[in-house]
Amino acid sequence: MKKAALTTCLLILLAAAAAADFAFAGKWGAQGSGDGQFLAPSGIAVAPNGNVYVADEFNHRIQYFTSAGSFLGKWGSRGKGDGQFLYPCDVAVAPGGRLYVVDFDNHRVQYFTATGSYLGQFGEYGVLPRYFNNPHSVVVGADRNVYVVDTNNNRVQYFTRNGSFLGTWGSKGTADSQFDQPFGIASTPQGDVYVTDRLNNRVQYFTAQGLFRGKWGTKGFGWGQFEYPTAIAAGSDYRLYVTDYSWHHVQYFTPTGSYLDKFGGRGTGDGLFNFPDGVAVSPAGTTVYVADTGNNRIQYFTRVEPKIAPASLGRVKAIFK
């Protein structure tokens, strides 16, 4: 009995240590159309080399930067042609560096080299499998397949790296595996797929083939509740980060939805947000980037592990002597 109780307490201590705080580390961007400026930045992704890609939605382009925000390049313009966009709203990076961009109002996904050279595309407007109705998010899974949130069709579709259709799941509703405006998507290292179910104010998660595994969240302003969750990102440490759009926070959770902590709040100062709509995690899992959409900027935060006093373990053991 004592051993079991001691184990439980040790696990609690470890969980508390895992729930690290995040400190504001930097920012870049301002409203505009120049290099390094934004008009409603939304999706954001971090490449294996640390470069940060941003879907500059209302400028109809992709911009990319160093990990600290130095401008590196851009591509795209408003239109329907190859390499053009109508409100690109999300971007994902494959392990080899290929970029996938959700072209919202063109109802397609385009893909590029790491520097923006056009490679191909898939999708067009429709309701049948392989077609999209205003898709909103994309992620490359642990299996290297491409998962797309087909928002107005209330489903997830997935494809090979070159856009060959593999499968789909979801329909409109409130039951498990149903959605009401799914928005963001993430994939964990072990292959599970997480989806923010925006108007149902929850997160659902699935196997890579779409089998329902679990859910969490309700509408509200308490910790672990949401008011229109939008983007979601998975860290290499398995934490899940969710932008709570109308609450102007980022909340983070364990893989099964246990609330760990949050950071942010509404405002224009450092560390505050105005309708955040994108989140990404560095390859090491120590830096979180947030598309601060209403403030037309990117902010980033570093993880600060809380210190545990050396006597803490001894005090726990003493309880069970």
Q: Over 90: is that where the pLDDT of 12 sits?
A: no
Span 276-289, pLDDT tens digits: 999 999 999 999 99
What is the pLDDT at residue 318? 40
Q: Do residues 211 and 170 make contact, with C-beta atoms less than 8 angstroms apart? A: no
- Burial state string for 97-133 with b = 16 or more CB within 10 A and e = fewer than 16: ebbbbbbbebbbbbbbebebeeeebbbeeeeeeebbe
Contacts by residues 166-174 (CB-CB < 8 Å, ≥ 24 positions apart) = 167/209, 167/210, 168/129, 168/210, 169/206, 169/210, 170/210, 174/200
Following DSSP, what letter does each residue of 149-208 receive, concatenated?
EEGGGTEEEEE-TT--EEEEE--BSSSTT-BSSEEEEEE-TT--EEEEEGGGTEEEEE-T
Q: Over 90: is that where the pLDDT of 198 sits?
A: yes
Q: What percent of the chain has pLDDT over 90?
A: 86
At which residue do the structure tokens 């979180």 appear?
A: 288
Q: Do residues 279 and 289 make contact, with C-beta atoms less than 8 angstroms apart? A: yes
Q: Over 50: is that where the pLDDT of 86 sits?
A: yes
Secondary structure string (H, E, C) spanning 204-229:
EEECCCCCEEEEECCECCCCCCECCE
Span 226-237, pLDDT tens digits: 999 999 999 988
